Amino acid sequence: MMAHAAVSVQPAMVVTTENVKINQWSSGVCDCCEDMSICCCGFWCPYCLMCKTSEDFGECLCLPLLEMCFGGILPPVTLSMRSTMRERYRIRGSIQNDCCVATCCTVCVWCQMARELKARKHSLVVINPAINAAYQPPQAFNQPIQAVNMGYQSHHPSSPY
């Protein structure tokens, strides 16, 4: 018979620091030189940057690759990622602005989103919740479920006691 352990975990509290401006992008669309590694990745391998940024944002890794198949004049994945990021982080802007920059400066928009995620990732402080006293570690196989009598002494012939 196997005993089940009850584990109760409370969610951690997340606090943002003042490094990220509230209601604004942490950098502009054309501020590529603020992070040269992101800029170089966007210039030399834009789909690598797009896939990495999409994954970091919690979306499917291959989502930006759909833009090659279904994109036209208006890049739908870039537009949806930018507007979703703007809404999630409550960044000021409009869908019209998102549409204009996504159409005219697609790679720059992905660089901006990558910098935003990087800035937000470094600006979070996670406060661990208190350890729950209700946690009971699982018992290993072949161990008795009842309490062991600690006063029991072995009467084995090789035992010194």
**Residue 149 domain-assigned?**
no
Domain ranges, residue 40: 23-127
In this structure, are residues 139 and 29 in contact, taking their beta carbons and an 8 Å threshold?
A: no
- Report if residue 92 sits inside a domain: yes
Looking at the chain, how many residues does it have?
A: 161
Q: Judge whether 60 lies within some domain.
A: yes
Given a cut of 50, whether residue 123 has pLDDT beyond it is yes
- The predicted-structure confidence for 1-51, as pLDDT tens digits, reads as follows 555 555 555 555 554 544 445 689 999 999 988 999 999 999 999 999 999
Instruction: Give CA separation, 131 vs 4, 11, 128, 136, 138, in Å.
Output: 19, 11, 9, 12, 16
Asked whether residue 150 is assigned to any structural domain, the reply reads no
Chain mean pLDDT for the chain: 79
- Asked if residue 53 lies in contact with residue 62, where contact means CB atoms within 8 angstroms, the answer is no
Q: Report d(CA 78, CA 99) in Å as an integer.
A: 9
Structural domains in the chain (count): 1
